[in-house]
Copies of this chain bind each other. A is one copy, B any other.
Amino acid sequence: MKYIDKDTIEDIALGAALLGTGGGGDPYVGKLMALQAIEEHGPVQLIDPEDVPDDALIVPTAMMGAPTVLIEKIPSGEEIFRAFEGLKSYLNRDIYATVPIEAGGVNSMIPIAVAAQLGLPLIDCDGMGRAFPELQMVTYHLYDISATPMMIADEKGNVLMLKTIDNVWTERLARNATVEMGASVMISIYPMTGKELKKAAIRNIVTFSAKIGKAIRNSRSSNKNPVDVCLEATGGIELFRGKITDVSRKTEGGFVRGEALLEGVEDYSGQNMKVQFQNENLIAIKNGKVVATVPDLICIVNLETAMPVTTERLKYGSRVAVLGIPCDEKWRTPRGIETVGPRYFGYDVDYVPVKELARK
């Protein structure tokens, strides 16, 4: 795939929503934004990180905040350009390309919309290989790339620039501003060189998302089970099949936090599962035993269609499968685990890779 056109948008949004592990925004909202931009400005060139000059300036773009809010407060479409162009003007340098910061229904799409509108290429990589709730939770951070200068823009027209002493302060100040600006804003962040990107990014996330999305979509017209297709495409394992019996969810501190309780169906009849989230799914506990934690991907999909269910769309009575997908190796390093492992989120458990847990 050298160009992202309208046909591939749907696949990318769908696959990225799955990799978003419940967060990263709703694929429907994201898709609309990207489709409109491509319709107006034509397809977006997708390039490999290896084709980016070492000294080129790369700027990731994303939405920040509680995805539940984004559903109701659709971006005006202007704010992401104010954030992006604001950074360009602050750095006083041309930006070579943009790139997603994470996978997710919205955050895979925003960079496509920006690239289309500004005639820039999109680079086939991201900083997570999934979605995470906080700004320092990117592989760029593991390689000591500064999140700032960073721009934040809201739909009203306010713009905020941050330059902080470290990426944890970026998260703290940006989150705080996000809440005050209405819990959903557009950002441009982690400006970096092509050389830094090649070292720190997780590769092929756009093509991988498209592949997953296409597989899920095609499974509808084949006689294969969509959930099995999904597992095959992602290299994941099935953790549970069940019916959602309870969902608690609240928006606080700029995040959506909560949990879903599931009652087993089919082979899992009589069993139960609890999935807790902070924007993204953090931990899956089956019959009281941890079966998956961050940084591995815990994905909830519709049992019949394998369509990913984001945390804000979790509903009582839905029949879903819970999948566990191994995270990128960069997250399994000591610094990776320290940054996004279960203990960071307050869970008193060590990280054990999801497939090892399954073997136990």
Interface, chain A (partner B; CB < 8 A): 86, 90, 156-165, 169, 172-173, 176-177, 180-181
Contacts and interface: CB of A to CB of B under 8 A. Distances in A.
Contacts of A165: 156-158
Contacts of A169: 156, 158
Nearest to A176: B180
Nearest to A151: B161
Nearest to A162: B160
Contacts of A160: 160-163, 173
A169 to B, nearest CB: 6
A163 B158 contact: yes
B177 A181 contact: no
22 contacts: A86-B163, A156-B165, A156-B169, A157-B164, A157-B165, A158-B163, A158-B165, A158-B169, A159-B162, A159-B163, A160-B160, A160-B162, A160-B163, A160-B173, A161-B161, A161-B162, A172-B180, A173-B180, A176-B176, A176-B177, A176-B180, A177-B177
A180 B86 CA distance: 23
A147 to B, nearest CB: 12
Contacts of A180: 172-173, 176
Give the number of times this chain occurs in the complex, counting copies: 2
A165 B156 CA distance: 7
Contact of A173 (B86, B90, B172, B181): B181
Contacts of A159: 162-164
Given A156-B165, A159-B164, 12 more contacts: A157-B164, A158-B162, A158-B163, A158-B164, A158-B169, A159-B162, A159-B163, A160-B161, A161-B162, A161-B163, A173-B181, A176-B177
A9 B181 CA distance: 41
A156 B170 CA distance: 13
A157 B180 CA distance: 22
Contacts of A157: 164-165
Nearest to A163: B159
A47 to B, nearest CB: 31
A313 B249 CA distance: 45
A158 B169 CA distance: 8
A173 B162 CA distance: 13
A157 B177 CA distance: 18
A22 B162 CA distance: 32
A289 to B, nearest CB: 39
Contacts of A161: 160-163
A181 B157 CA distance: 23
B164 A173 contact: no
A320 to B, nearest CB: 38
A176 B159 CA distance: 14
B177 A173 contact: yes
A37 to B, nearest CB: 24
A10 to B, nearest CB: 35
A106 to B, nearest CB: 23
Most chain B CB inside 10 Å of its own CB: which residue of A165, A180, A181: A180
